[in-house]
Amino acid sequence: MKTVKIIVVALLAVVLGTNSYAQMMDHSKMDMSKNKADSKMAMATTKSETIKVWGNCESCQTRIEKAAKVNGVTKASWDSETKMLAVVYDPSKITSDDIQKKIAAVGHDTEKYKADDKAYSKLPGCCKYDRAAAKK
């Protein structure tokens, strides 16, 4: 019976000890999340967006991403399956419209801008996406 009591006391001590340790951890966590919020504010200069861009294949992907990676754009990644371009950019340097104009200039329709006809006609055969389907 005595050993049981000792075990219970020991367990209690462990539980209580862990508790106060957990509280200590909570405080440090709070501090950490505060720091995180601060750094988030500093990061608020970039904007993430997904833009529909019509195209077909991997060379479309290369062309679209290259056109989208202008000054102020930190990330441009196009998916040939979903036809969605994920961009991360600095809104103080460039707008979503500007990025889409750049893409339209190399021959790809975007959700807001129709591709330049000449640029489209110069695209390789595999890249000639269905324009009728692109623009409703």
HSE-CB of 63 using CA atoms within 13 angstroms: 24
d(CA 68, CA 49): 12
User: Minimum distance from CB of 113 to Cu ion (Å)?
Assistant: 18
Residues 11, 13, 14, 20: what is their CA dihedral angle, to the nearest 10 degrees? 150
Instruction: Report whether 90 contacts 72 (CB < 8 A).
Output: yes
d(CA 54, CA 112): 11
User: Minimum distance from CB of 77 to Cu ion (Å)?
Assistant: 16
Structure tokens at 113: 């801008």
Indicate the residue among 87 and 107 with the shorter CB distance to Cu ion. Answer: 107
User: Minimum distance from CB of 54 to Cu ion (Å)?
Assistant: 10
Indicate the residue among 51 and 106 with the shorter CB distance to Cu ion. Answer: 106
User: Minimum distance from CB of 127 to Cu ion (Å)?
Assistant: 3
* Interface with Cu ion (CB under 5 A): 56-57, 59-60, 127
Indicate the residue among 56 and 110 with the shorter CB distance to Cu ion. Answer: 56
Indicate the residue among 94 and 127 with the shorter CB distance to Cu ion. Answer: 127
Report the DSSP pairing between strands 47-52 and 73-79.
unpaired
